Structure 1
């Protein structure tokens, strides 16, 4: 395991003394005596090495701060109960408290320069990350330095080096397709977003696996919410599709657009068309309960925090990768297909 970078490493890379590094990265009046080029050289060396001046140095001397970082790639830390991240945070907090750790919270706007914000997680003993995409360069530096990192959600980046606790979206998607097949549907359409997030790819894989296993006719269409309207819904019905499945995303705009399109087209749900979401319908104002699956978000948070503590204390070594299976939610938007 590589040790954390020190001031001496920054000094060697910048070609200055350690005292100059301490002054350049500090807040003393002596900093004003350094030239702009020296300040720039030291700052560049610190960023390259991933060095962050630590205000809790005395506690670090004991090799522990008893702090776990939590980093979310959002404009503000998600504290609203309805936020999809909130149950993760409840689980993280409960696990951390049980294990004797406090939390240090970071967001994507913790610094005007994203890379520096990520590197500041070194103030904690280890860090949990939540978000659909991975800042690979910054996390590569953390992993190379042996810094403990755990993602909440399955990740495939960085050659499988990331530890994570995620949801088994493949299994969850298959549950929904199997439910529709059991109702008698034979022609399914999966409408997904346009990005290539791991969770989106996993949902599609689960859809195709279940469609093939049940001998159904399936198709996948990538779409923006703005392209889902009454005309699109009617064209899908005309092609023989009797059930449309979409994916949950941060805004759930795809699901909202599907429900609005059905209303605009006067298509009765589920009598004339079944609708389901691969996930939950949080954030969508809808009278009927939408069929989907529930993520064990709080348990994922608890298990991720416990895993991070194990990595910090050396009880386990990474990468450790765990998946929890979602549970099917049968709502009011799925039923038997309409008579031919």
Structure 2
């Protein structure tokens, strides 16, 4: 078939934003510059809560207790060391040979002995008189028979006197010996009791020292418990103070970031507003995305790029990136 080849045609278009949107975008760019040009404002308030009076008092209480219990226990250790060298009372048993039995003899022994011998003498004389009477009756007074009987009577009386005296003195000695032995036994028992009491007293003193040491440690622990309670109260007060400081700092950040949040709101509204375009001139026609959509896509891409910035500057970086993207897309529609 005959015919002419198609000619290349060009079409030039200009994408214009609506006046109301163009004004809003320009105002947003101006506001972003104002936000970006703000000077750094550092927070001059307190950030960390200091120690409370209760905490300081608790710390001073711990300082004041340093060495007290140690010195107290050291004094008790000295007392225990003294008891370690305790020597119990020495007890020795007494003996009869070393005991004066004269003190135990009956002080009336001589009087008893004299009376007993006098009675025996009276019996002898009565016997002699009886022999004489019988001799007279038999008309043999003064004879050899009477003399023999009188001698026998005297000898018997003398023997009885000796036996009586020996018996009295032996009984007194035996009684004195028994009483001395009783005193020796009681003395030994008393000495052993005193020795046992001394040992028991030393043991009680040692137990008292141990109890005093335990009580001292208990007192120290009780003081630490009171101090810990006081420190706990101070800790609660400190937490409250820290919460107030944190709240003040949060309010400062809220006030500082408020313009940035306003800018984010404007950018979100700008990027989400649909609009059309008007053809004004010709340009080489080519397929692809609408310049207006390219401007919107550039704004969103720029915002995503700015949001990749980490750290405290991330919100500002995202806003600036979004603005730059929007500005680039909008500039492409003006070509």
Structure with a larger share of its residues in helix: 2
**TM norm. shorter chain > 0.5:** no
Bigger Rg over Cα: 2
Tell me the TM-score normalized by structure 1.
0.16
TM-score by length of 2: 0.16
